[in-house]
Structure 1
Amino acid sequence: MKFTRTALTMAAAATALVVGLQSPAMASDSYHVMNTGDAFGGGVFDYSGEAYFTEHGDIIKICDTDADGYAVKMWVNLDDGYGPTLYTFTRGGEGNCATHRASEGGKYDLPEKRYIGFLFCRYKDGHESECAAYKFYNDF
């Protein structure tokens, strides 16, 4: 079978494209974005809080993204958003964030090969509202 230079170049380019597309997709499987269960204000996606979970290193970051007088609170649970609680943390004030990671040890080093649940809410005066529940399989 005879291959022309053009055919070989096109095959190499297609292979490079496929390999290049796979890496970001695999990386994104271990990085998750979460929001509180509200969307008030002028924007379509104007949530009170935003959170990030990175499986590699068990990094959880929460941020208060709205000057609404509410803080945000995250419950980190086993199995799903309403499972047994591992820990909680709160952050208030627009633009303020808090982070916990496995390197802190103890409760912050989340179990592997298990679902981790998150309940992310607006929080004020000891009461939560507009919660959103998430769960991700922690396999890193």
Structure 2
Amino acid sequence: MAMSAAAVVTSFAVAGPALAYNESWRTDDGDPGGIAYWTADNDIVKICDIEPDGWAVAAFVYHRQTNGTLAFDYQFYVGGNGNCADRKASEGATFNLPENQNAHIGVCLMRDDWAEIDYCDWNELSN
């Protein structure tokens, strides 16, 4: 029995680092329906739909150029309570954000295939 308990503890210890994110923030509605996570290592942006409210969750990703302006990189969404989606630098050039230029990421609620976007919350993050 003691060996089983040790195996369980070990499996949780190994799984922990994969779940570590540098930052997280939620949509700006009264009972947030979406959450975004950021990991600077490998430029990982993850969004999750966390409410059965009929809205999907969308992310908008920009980077702040050295001259201070924002440059659009990509957007994506996920719908359905409990569903998550992510994008990361290893997927290709579009998702590999420039180094030493802050990432500017918004998480919003979306309805009707991009027709309605609301409750956005933005975060500027070191990259």
Structure 1 length-normalised TM: 0.69
Matches of 1:34 and 1:79, distance apart in 2: 19
State the alpha-carbon separation in 2 of the partners of residues 69 and 36 from structure 1: 14
**2:52 maps to which of 64, 67, 91:** 67
Q: What's the RMSD between the two structures over aligned residues?
A: 1.9
Give the percent of matched residue pairs that are identical in Structure 1 and Structure 2. Answer: 35
Match of 1:89 in 2: 76
1:83 is displaced (CA, Å) by 2.7
Between Structure 1 and Structure 2, whose CA radius of gyration is higher? 1
Residue 21 (structure 1) aligns with = none
How far has the Cα of 1:34 moved from its partner? 1.6
Hey, what does 2:24 align to over in structure 1? Answer: 33
Per the alignment, residue 7 of structure 1 pairs with none
Return the offset for 1:79: 1.8
Task: Identify unmatched segments of 5+ residues in structure 2.
Answer: 1-19
Runs of 4+ in 1 over 2 A off after TM superposition: none
Q: Which runs of 5+ in 1 are unaligned?
A: 1-27, 41-46
**Distance in 1, Cα, partners of 2:37 & 2:30:** 18
Normalising to structure 2: TM-score of the pair?
0.75
**CA distance in 1: counterparts of 2:70 and 2:30, whole angstroms:** 25
Q: Which residue of 2 aligns with 1:131?
A: 120
**Alpha-carbon distance in 2 for matches of 1:91, 1:83:** 24
